[in-house]
């Protein structure tokens, strides 16, 4: 069977290189369960070579004036936008997300972050501070790049996450070795080639392919100064532990089990729309999803009724159809995981199944082998249920009913995770009070999910370390140097003759 795309090689020192391992894996179209391309797996020697390329490029790139770096990043953002639909089509085939999503969100929001940091550094955003201590003494600070950094991508937003990591990294003057997820690797070589075409010097952005063993070797390498990882909590803990033991900088964007609190006065239509976006957008494969929906008991009947009326608006089908807004899960392994949670919710948790379940949505015959799961809603859930406590990462909503807003807040915080949270209410004073009490790093009021380039995002508790995007995001990619200059002409000393 002919594959859709040619083999993907490694990319370092400004060009593609065949992997020396001689090993490959195939990336699969989730909608049809058919292979798309052979992906060459990096050996340890290949990873060493990619890191060495980054080391060679670092001195010149880190000393390149910020405005010159900004021009290159602007050019890359422009190329991404010019090729938006072409890249989005590949993302759809590789990730299983509908083209209506990848063409309007994935490439666009990644390019936005690239442009944001180009503007930031071009406008003096990396300038230090100067403080006059006294008439003849000053302190000034400088922000210095870290060195060669490792970026570990995730499979749910492949090119967007690659850009979220590389934009701030490169803008700050670092070089990067990037490993895409083995489930969605097709974007990585494309991004590397766009960076090169935009004028990025050879070795500044490099790509290695493979699974967890490749990532482990890369992130533990002694020449890596920082690790930026997006993925599940258990893996992130291992990566962070290894990095901390070797005094590496880290940014960790991990899992969530985020609460969405609907207050008694909330606009019902907006609340239902928010809950659906927080659970079914991107087939529920979003780490910030608000999968614990807290609803006042007084709204039980109207809320559930309106949800069921809107479920038909979730349209599974051919991924390039303009009407499709719901795709398959990313892989067979993940489909089986999500289905096991749904079965557990029905059989063991004994939650009430409002809609969905273990069957497949109605899709054309040529898509039946794909990794599809029905949008599923459980109601009458309790806090001790497994489907309520653990991250499912699929289109599964759990509705929990409460009596007072204070009770809802307390229950919302009763988790080891703290990535995102949100509230729907007409009372903005109440909204701010609730948001202030919710233990999460990303919060929304009367909306859900938008993460613009200007907004720093990162988790609390076990949901992560550090932030990405916004002004604070670039601080994770630099180290501070403080210098005190004394111009008095003599040195104060206690070692003087008595």
Question: Is there a catalytic annotation at residue 468?
Answer: no
Alpha carbon 121 to its chain's center: 22
Q: What is the total residue count of the chain? A: 498
Give the sign of the dihedral formed by CA 143, CA 147, CA 150, CA 156.
Answer: positive
List the catalytic residue out of 91, 253, 391, 468.
253
For 362, residues 6+ apart whose C-beta sits below 8 A from its C-beta are: 316
For 286, residues 6+ apart whose C-beta sits below 8 A from its C-beta are: 156, 449
For 454, residues 6+ apart whose C-beta sits below 8 A from its C-beta are: 116, 469, 470
Query: Degrees (nearest 5) of the Cα angle 459, 465, 471?
Result: 80
As beta bridge partners, residue 483 has 140
Pairwise CA distance, residues 379 & 387, whole Å: 11
C-alpha pair distances (Å), 213 with each of 8, 17, 101, 209, 359: 18, 20, 31, 10, 34
- Find where tokens 């936005």 sit: 112
Pairwise CA distance, residues 171 & 121, whole Å: 7
Q: Name the residues annotated as catalytic.
A: 253
């Amino acid at each position: 069977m002919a594959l859709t795309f040619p083999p993907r090689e490694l990319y370092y020192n400004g060009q593609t290189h065949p992997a020396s391992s001689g090993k490959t894996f195939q990336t699969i179209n989730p909608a049809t369960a058919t292979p798309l391309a052979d992906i060459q797996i990096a050996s340890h020697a290949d990873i060493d070579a990619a890191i060495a390329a980054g080391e060679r490029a670092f001195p010149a790139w880190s000393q390149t004036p910020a405005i010159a770096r900004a021009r290159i990043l602007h050019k890359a953002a422009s190329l991404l936008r010019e090729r938006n639909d072409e890249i989005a089509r590949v993302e759809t085939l590789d990730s299983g997300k509908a083209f209506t999503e990848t063409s309007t969100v994935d490439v666009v929001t990644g390019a936005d972050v690239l442009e944001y940091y180009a503007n930031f550094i071009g406008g003096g955003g990396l300038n230090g501070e100067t403080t006059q201590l006294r008439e003849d003494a000053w302190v000034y600070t400088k922000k210095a790049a870290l060195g060669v950094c490792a970026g570990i991508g995730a499979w749910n937003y492949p090119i967007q996450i690659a850009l979220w990591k590389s934009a701030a990294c490169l803008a700050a003057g670092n070089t990067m070795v990037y490993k895409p997820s083995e489930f969605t690797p097709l974007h990585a070589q494309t991004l590397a080639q766009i960076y090169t075409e935009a004028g990025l010097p050879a070795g500044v952005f490099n790509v290695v392919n493979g699974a967890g063993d490749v990532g482990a070797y890369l992130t533990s390498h002694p020449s890596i100064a920082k690790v930026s990882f997006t993925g599940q909590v258990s893996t992130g803990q291992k990566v962070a532990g290894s990095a901390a033991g070797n005094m590496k900088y880290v940014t960790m964007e991990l899992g969530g089990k985020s609460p969405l609190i609907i207050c008694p006065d909330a606009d019902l239509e907006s609340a239902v729309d928010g809950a659906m976006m927080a659970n079914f957008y991107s087939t529920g494969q979003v780490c910030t999803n608000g999968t614990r929906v807290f609803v006042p008991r007084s709204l039980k009947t109207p809320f559930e009724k309106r949800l069921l009326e809107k479920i038909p608006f979730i349209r599974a089908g051919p991924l390039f159809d303009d009407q499709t807004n719901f795709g398959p899960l990313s892989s067979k392994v993940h489909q089986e995981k999500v289905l096991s949670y749904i079965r557990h919710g029905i059989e063991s948790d004994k939650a009430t199944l409002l809609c969905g379940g273990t069957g497949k949505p109605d899709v054309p015959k040529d898509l039946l082998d794909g990794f599809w799961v029905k949008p599923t809603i459980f109601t009458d859930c309790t806090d001790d249920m497994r489907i309520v406590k653990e991250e499912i990462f699929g289109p599964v909503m759990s509705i929990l009913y409460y009596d007072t807003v204070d009770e809802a807040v307390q229950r919302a915080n009763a988790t080891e995770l703290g990535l995102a949270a949100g509230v729907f209410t007409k009372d903005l004073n109440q909204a701010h009070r609730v948001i202030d009490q919710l233990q999460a790093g990303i919060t929304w009021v009367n909306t859900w999910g938008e993460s613009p380039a200007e907004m720093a995002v990162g988790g609390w508790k076990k949901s992560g370390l550090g932030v990405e995007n916004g002004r604070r995001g670039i601080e994770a990619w630099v180290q501070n140097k403080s210098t005190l200059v004394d111009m008095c002409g003599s040195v104060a000393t206690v070692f003087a003759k008595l």
